[in-house]
Structure 1
Amino acid sequence: MSSRKRIMGATLVMSIATSISRVSGLIRDMVVARFFGAGVATDAFFMAFTIPNLLRRFFAEGSLTAAFVPVFSEVFHRRGEDEAQRLANRCATLLLLVMIVVVALGLICSPWIVQAIGYGFGQTEGKLELTHQLNLIMFPYIALVSLLALLTGVLNVRGHFFLPSLSPLLLNLAMIFGALSLGQLFQRPIFGLALGVLLGGVLQLLLQFPVLLRYRMRWRPDFRFFHDEQLRKITLLMLPGIAGVAIYQINIVVSRLLASFLPDGSVSYLYYGQRLFEFPQGIFVVSLAQAVLPMMSRQIADGDEEGMRQSLNFSLTLIALFTLPAMVGLVLCAKPVFSLFFLGGEFGLIAMDNSALALVCFAPGLLFVGCSRIAAQTFYALQDTRTPVIVSFWTLLVNLGAGLLLMQWLGFVGLALALTTASLFNAVVLLTLLQRKLNLRLTRQLLTQSVRIVIACLPMALLVYLVLGMVDWHQFGSSAYKGLMLVFAVGSGVVVFAGSCLLLKIDEIHQLLRLIRNKLRRYKQPIEHS
């Protein structure tokens, strides 16, 4: 199977699983919005949840995955399954010990951590204390999700992508259960939501074990990691990656820190907008980036530099193909989505308008985040973790400077625009440095393809705008009519976009449609023979 088919196939599988997880995440956010609205309690919860999420990027989905997968892939394909099992056991043992220390320090230092990232909460009585209490409940989640990231890396190298991508479904279900059921046990129901996070971490981890057993991967404690050359290599790659790959999450923390100085509800508006922004990002960008890393790592291990370059070009084109229409869709559908799924209960018209406005400002960053993720994965596949670190430092300064400047006039909207500006800076610099490193013309090729995709987006945007304009989205109720019109607008927009791509002869859409047809034929064959 060609690298293009493997990348697209893995991306399709993960996109399906991630779509299921993201839909459950949307339902989760609907429950949270209806029960808790946008105010002191939600501000405190979202800020407290930011801390384990940031560390998850540091130790888990970011630096650990980026450092572990290339080395584990090299060992697995060159030295065999037994050596790979030994490396996985030692990594898991060391990671567990590190996480015990991290969780202990996090619980002890919680008051100071909370004050550092939510300093402005001190202006509202009891808000910092509530954030601290919620952080104590949720902080152990980092240990669970870090072990999950390690198991995900092992399964991805073995070619299994579905269950790891589906695991967030269990987190979302656990949080819904926490909000609806566990919250009734407390005077402040928001504590039930925090317990749901911890329960979700346990369930996510347990989900992976049946597949690991199928691949005969059994974890046994192995403390002989001090002199393991491959483990040392992973650690050296991981340390600078802690800063590099987590830059987007660090910037979100900066935005929320600045938002803590704004009126109550500002952190919640940014969170709700960010969550809807992450819907297509998780389905397309994260899935593709996760599929690309094992493939590129294997190509580099095999000495196939030309194949790696082709995988990179193809991945960037897919990013543009997925994110540009999604970006247009987010801008046009921001208010309709919040009106349909969130409006009601504690979530009123002001919260709807402000959350939608935050989403509109985040939306242009979808393409930039996607390009950054692919570029960063390429650097990690090349086992170069220093370059993304240097770029991340300057990106952080851009976000901080733009945020401080724009929030003076635009409030939380300025913070959303600052994050988008920082994402643009990060993508441009990473792609420029990468094309110099590999002697490619990435920027020119990406611009050429993007122009054709933008042209394909135009008739889609016009149709969606006209359909959505037929509904008063500030009206309460009418959920069936709103839902029907939104589904029709999105569905017809996708059809028009796909048709425009076919007319413009964008080759990647042909490949994607062929892949989907082949997948459907495989599922139909057993039925036809029965």
Structure 2
Amino acid sequence: MTLISRIAGFARDMLQATLFGTGGAMSAFIVAYRIPNFLRRVFAEGSMAMAFVPVLNEIKERGDRAALKSFIDAMAGALCAVVLVVCALGMLAAPLIARLFAPGWADQPELLAQTAQMLRITFPYLLFISLMSLSGSILNSHGRFALPAFTPVLHNLTMIAAMLWLAPRFEVPPVGLAWGVLIAGFLQLALLWPALGRLGLRPRLRPGFGHAEVRKVGRLMLPTLFSSSVAQVNLIVGTAFASLLAAGSVDWLYYSDRLIEFPLGLFGVALGTVILPHLSRRHAAEDAAGYSQSLDWAIRMALLAGVPAGLGLLLLAEPITATVFNYGAFDARDTRMAAISLTAMSLGVPAFMLSKVLAPAFYARQDTRTPMRAAIWTVGANVGLTVLLTTPLWLYDVPGAHGGIALATALAGVVNAWLLWRYLRRRGLFQPQPGWRLYLARLVGACAAMALVVLAVRGWVGDWTAIAGVWDRIGWLALAIAAGAGAYGIAIVGLGLRPRHLRH
């Protein structure tokens, strides 16, 4: 389901780049879309889910069905009440928020006004998506993974429909995309709500701020408000800096991030989604050995997918960008600029993926303070690195200065993963299983084989932007990826890795 979602996401991004290009009102939409998306990670997929799932599983393990239903009702009502207030404040303060997150547009009042207008449309999306995420967490905790994983597909299809039918009806077409975001949130919630009814757990929205378990979730959630959304905080920081750079910088970073999200969503988020309830059950059962073994398995799987994914994105940055986006209003210069930031950001893919499985290791133990400490250091490192790397490029007007922002984001991701791993080891929560040196040697050897094959295919094809037809580009890119993946698979099997080594 996640694979289908990412393919639909590529179709959506390709259409968006082709129809709207970069700069102007499209940049305003990207900012207006990123802010509620950032809050979504706080109130929905990130902070709330990480605090909610362990408490939900704790009650579920006791076997008290009435207590479980009471907790879900109280939690849903409290979440709804809080998010409604946040949405109202966001809509009222939209002009101020636009200036805060796009300071470089201070001398472009029309662009700021468009951003504020679209923010007022996209902010209520937060309510629907927060309740949808709560519903998805309940379904995941009962072993129902497919339907929640399908909801992003619905989001992408709705956005495609908005581009084709809604956007042309507006004087400023990206405003239609903002309405598409809101409609998508409603449809995603509508998809999951009946599934909760079939489990007998459809929430009644009764704000239960005094409920003991809701208060426990609140205590756990407060530190995670920051830590679970560190990647989004870094993106918001990058967006603010990008607004100071050349026109189109916000868009180039956005499209690079969308490509980075493919492997993260396909493997990283999927691993994190599955491992959190599993680790929380091992912790509840006081099974320290099982907890450590599960974490060891998840780390190996994250590296097995993350290292070649990051390397592949780095080696094929321009071919991928050209194949997916270089049509219509998105020209060859946009392709080169987006490829610069994709190349830099791809260095952080293995670390981003590791963080997706390392952070849940703490949340499963209801420890939300440790990831918060790591997040504070990470965001500090990101801001410092962004200033250090980007300022000289900006001052000397170097083309591609936004690449400094992307590199800072990647390096900050490495800092975050390293800190989380270090905290786990220092506390004795993670004991690596035997065979790690051999595993890493096999991984490096397979990646070297993959790189040689991919570079050979890329050198053979030459300039991807010079390939005229979309199907020709797709064909050559598919060949490069298939050849690289085949070389990686053959090499890693040839070096002795077998499916039994990957079973938990």
TM-score range, shorter chain: over 0.9
- Tell me if 1:417 matches 2:407: yes
Q: Cα distance, 1:460 vs. partner?
A: 1.5
Give CA deviations for 1:317-364 in whole Å, capped at 9, x if unaligned. Answer: 100001011111111222112222211211001000111111111111
Residue 163 of structure 2 contacts residue 176 of structure 2 at CA under 8 Å; is this kept in 1?
Answer: yes
Letter aligned with residue 475 of structure 1: A
**Cα offset for 1:184?**
1.6
Distance 1:48 1:226 in 2: 31
Partner of 1:318: 301
- Does residue 151 in structure 1 map to residue 135 in structure 2? yes
Q: 1:368 maps to what in 2?
A: 351
Matches within 5 A, 1:219-238: 219-223=203-207, 225-238=208-221
Aligned to 2:202: 218
Aligned-pair distance for 1:444?
A: 10
226, 239, 246: which one aligns with 2:222 = 239
Match 2:62 to one of 78, 81, 84: 78
Equivalent of 1:497 in 485, 488, 503? 488
The structural deviation recorded for 1:208 is 0.9
Deviation at 1:393, TM superposition (A): 1.0
- In 1, distance between residues paired with 2:338 and 2:58? 45
**Cα separation, 2, equivalents of 1:306 and 1:441:** 9
Distance change >3 Å, CA 92–CA 439, structure 1 → 2: closer
Q: Deviations over 1:469-508 (max 9, x none)?
A: 222312152222222221122123222212222222224x
- Taking the TM superposition and a 5 Å limit, the aligned residue runs for 1:254-269 are 254-269=237-252
| Alpha-carbon spacing, 1:236–1:439, altered in 2? closer, same or farther (3 Å) | closer
Structure 2 CA distance for aligned equivalents of residues 227 and 94 of structure 1: 10
1:266·1:412 contact (CA, 8 Å) conserved in 2?
A: yes
* 1:204 aligned residue (175, 182, 188): 188
Alignment match of 1:350 (pick from 333, 346, 365): 333
Question: CA 1:125 to 1:229, structure 2 compared with 1: closer, same or farther past 3 Å?
Answer: closer
Q: Once structures 1 and 2 are overlaid, which stretch shifts more, 157-166 or 475-484?
A: 475-484
| 2:464 alignment partner, SS class | coil
1:431–1:443 contact (8 Å) kept in structure 2: no
Please state if 1:251 is matched with 2:234.
yes
Counterpart residue number, 1:524: none
TM norm structure 2: 0.95
Give CA deviations for 1:236-256 in whole Å, capped at 9, x if unaligned: 000111011111100110011
| Contact 1:319 1:371 (8 Å CA) reproduced | yes
With over 3 angstroms needed to count, the CA separation of the structure-2 counterparts of 1:106 and 1:443, relative to structure 1, is farther
1:348-394 C-alpha deviation (Å, 9 max, x unpaired): 01000111111111111111111222111111111111111111111
Contact kept, 8 Å, 1:432 with 1:443, in 2: the verdict is no
Superposed counterparts of 1:25-174, under 5 Å: 25-174=9-158
CA contact (8 A) 2:467 2:473 kept: no
* Aligned equivalents of 1:269, 1:137: Cα separation in 2: 24
Give the C-alpha shift of residue 446 in structure 1.
6.1
Alpha-carbon distance in 2 for matches of 1:478, 1:184: 26
1:331 is the counterpart of 2:314: yes
The answer for the alignment partner of 2:382 in structure 1 is 399
CA 89–447 in structure 1, closer or farther in 2 if over 3 Å, else same = farther
**What one-letter code is carried by the residue in structure 2 that aligns with 1:144?**
F
Separation (CA, whole Å) in 2 of partners of 1:373 and 1:340:
28
Distance 2:50 2:238 in 1: 25
Contact residue 292 and residue 429 of structure 2 kept, 8 A: no
Gaps of 5+ in 1: 1-16, 516-530
In structure 1, what is the Cα distance between the partners aligned to 2:231 and 2:343? 18
Query: Which amino acid counterpart does residue 420 of structure 1 have in structure 2?
Result: A
Structure 1 Cα separation of the partners of residues 57 and 117 of structure 2: 41
Equivalent pair of 1:281/1:370 in contact (CA under 8 Å): yes
What secondary structure sits across from 1:263 in the alignment? Answer: coil
Q: Counterpart amino acid of 1:473?
A: W
**Count of residues paired in the alignment:** 496
Whether the 8 Å contact between 2:283 and 2:364 is mirrored in structure 1 is: yes
Look up the match of 1:520: none
Partner amino acid for 1:191?
Answer: V
Letter in 2 for 1:63: S
Q: Which residue identity is paired with 1:215?
A: L
Q: Answer with 117-126 or 296-305: which moved more.
A: 117-126
Give CA deviations for 1:298-327 in whole Å, capped at 9, x if unaligned. Answer: 111111111011001110010000101111
Are the structure 2 counterparts of residues 191 and 258 from structure 1 closer, same or farther at C-alpha, using a change threshold of 3 Å? Answer: same
Are the counterparts in 1 of residues 292 and 431 from structure 2 also a CA contact under 8 Å? no
Question: 1-side partners of 2:436 and 2:276: how far apart?
Answer: 20
Shift, 1:511, TM fit: 5.8
